[in-house]
Amino acid sequence: MITFPKNNIEKLVEKGINSKKEFDLFFKSHYTLFLSFACRYRLNTEEARDIVQDVFTSFWEQREHFNSILTIKAFFYRAISNRCLNHLKHEDVKSRYAERQLQEMQSEEFIQENIIREEVSLIVRRKVKELTPREREIILLSLQNKSNQEIADLLSISVPTVKTHKMHAYARLRTELEELRFLLLIL
């Protein structure tokens, strides 16, 4: 086993890091070293800083479990390594997901489906505009997931009145959009 001469800081914290002063000294003397280690995983400097900072925080929260400078350093190297690898794996998953999304968005089916959705939405909005002002107002509030009671309270009308306006509006929309429904079934 290779042994290196201990520096003053390592001698100071040889039995562990139990005080804020020892932690600050350890941080100041090892932060750059751990940051350099994290950067070897081809992370950008900001990502590496975040990881090293997280490991320092994690260490501080469990510092009483470490009884020597060697176990402390081993913890830091292993924790930084694991977090860097997890970060890279996560980035890889995000990249593959984005790639799949892009491929899907370039497909003819995706384009056609979205054209149909937009056109249907336009037709429905036009038909909703043709409703009476009160019916339109109630339908739009209903589309915002408002309950009949909430709509009644907002418009200062009774719940049965809300239900009646909804019933009339939906009946008109069904009649006016019947041919659209038939076309959508064919597609």
Query: pLDDT tens for residues 121-135?
Result: 888 889 899 999 999
CA angle 84, 7, 39 (to 5 degrees): 20
- Which range in 3-12, 83-92, 99-108 is most confidently predicted, on average pLDDT? 83-92
pLDDT at 153: 95
Confidence of residue 6 (pLDDT cuts 50, 70, 90): low
Which tokens hold the place of 100? Answer: 């799949």
Q: Across the chain, which distance is largest between two alpha carbons, in Å?
A: 88
CA 18 to chain centre: 37
What's the CATH code, domain 108-186? 1.10.10.10
Is residue 114's pLDDT more than 50?
yes
Which tokens hold the place of 25? Answer: 């000294």
pLDDT at 58: 94
Is residue 45's pLDDT more than 80?
yes
Domain positions in the chain are: 8-104, 108-186
Q: What is the mean pLDDT of the chain?
A: 87
Q: Is the dihedral of CA 116, 117, 121, 122 positive or negative?
A: negative
How far apart CA 95 and CA 101 sit, in angstroms, is 10
Q: Quick one: fold of 8-104?
A: Rna Polymerase Sigma Factor; Chain: A (1.10.1740)
* Helices 148-155, 133-143: crossing angle, 10 deg rounding: 130
Average pLDDT score over residue span 148-153:
95
Q: Which helix (H) or strand (E) holds 75?
A: helix 69-106
Could you tell me which residue, 185 or 150, shows the higher pLDDT?
Answer: 150
How far apart CA 167 and CA 183 sit, in angstroms, is 24
pLDDT at 184: 67
Confidence of residue 2 (pLDDT cuts 50, 70, 90): low
How far apart CA 14 and CA 26 sit, in angstroms, is 11
Average pLDDT score over residue span 54-77:
91
How far apart CA 160 and CA 149 sit, in angstroms, is 9
Q: Which of 1-10, 67-76, 102-111, 140-149 has the lowest mean pLDDT?
A: 1-10
Left (φ > 0), alpha (ψ -120 to 50) or beta: where does 42 sit?
left
The DSSP code for 42 is S
> CA of 49: how far to CAs of 19, 41, 44, 176, 178, in Å?
23, 12, 9, 61, 60
